[in-house]
Amino acid sequence: MKRIYLNLKRFDIPREMGGINDTGMREQYARKIVSDIEKLSQDFMFTVFFQEAYVLPATDVAKRTHIGCQGVYEKDVEKGGNFGGMTTFRTAKSMKALGVDSVIIGHCEERAYLNGILSAGGGQGDVNEILNREIRCAVNAGMNVLYCIGEKSEEQQYRFDVLTHQLETGLKDVDLTNVAIAYEPVWAIGVGKIPPDRQYIEEIVEHVKSVYNLPVVYGGGLKEQNAEMLAGIEKLDGGLIALTRFGSDFGFYIEDFNKIVETYQGGLK
């Protein structure tokens, strides 16, 4: 079964405040997104990573759609231990208690933030070790994990070494039963950037699966323009969708999401 992930970024912020939300009430829109997705083909496993405010209305109507959050803290409550003194942090068990069963960890935006923190402290430490603690907390709480990996432009020449380190360090001592990998070519993300071609992606997928035989999806942006090509990569297990328009009407639109899924489905062999 192919996997389609939807990462809604910060679409909870209205356009007048600088965001991309022009849909009104969060409860109504969250329910509509899930309801519309559940009308699509049952040949796909759908997961939507919502912001916190959208989680409860989404879980209210979800039947076969997995509801996810956008990251968890590297520590959590434990019986006989910390009862929850983690002010400002979103723990995996707090999300699980709200009905969330999935989480995205290691997205390039999270990696950039953590690298900034480490740099401010003198550059000591490995981001992947922090992500490993987050993943272990998520798995311990019973959540599905989408772990993002990828190389920067200056790392392309030794990309396989970079990806191997991210995989082996990030997934050390992790029960991999409910873990999937999203490949993000960080060097190709952004307006005007040239995305990797089919051969490049195929080589990455082959390498990742040689390290850990896990589901691998394309995390650099599944779009209508590349959906058919990505669907033709047999060993690729799906894709990650975020924004669906990049012009003056920049944002996420459910009708575009439907078209992307339909195009991807049409390209499957």
Per-position b or e across 48-69, b if 16+ CB within 10 A of its CB: bbbbeebbbbbbeebeebbbbb
Across 153-168, b (16+ Cβ under 10 Å) vs e yields eeeeeebbebbbebbe
Q: How far apart are CA 26 and CA 31, in angstroms?
A: 8
Helix (H, G, I), strand (E, B) or coil at 257: helix
Q: Which secondary-structure segment (H or E) carries 144?
A: strand 144-149
Active centre residues (catalytic): 107, 184
Helix or strand or coil: residue 21? strand
Comparing CA positions, the residue from 38, 102, 29, 44 lying closest to residue 68 is 102
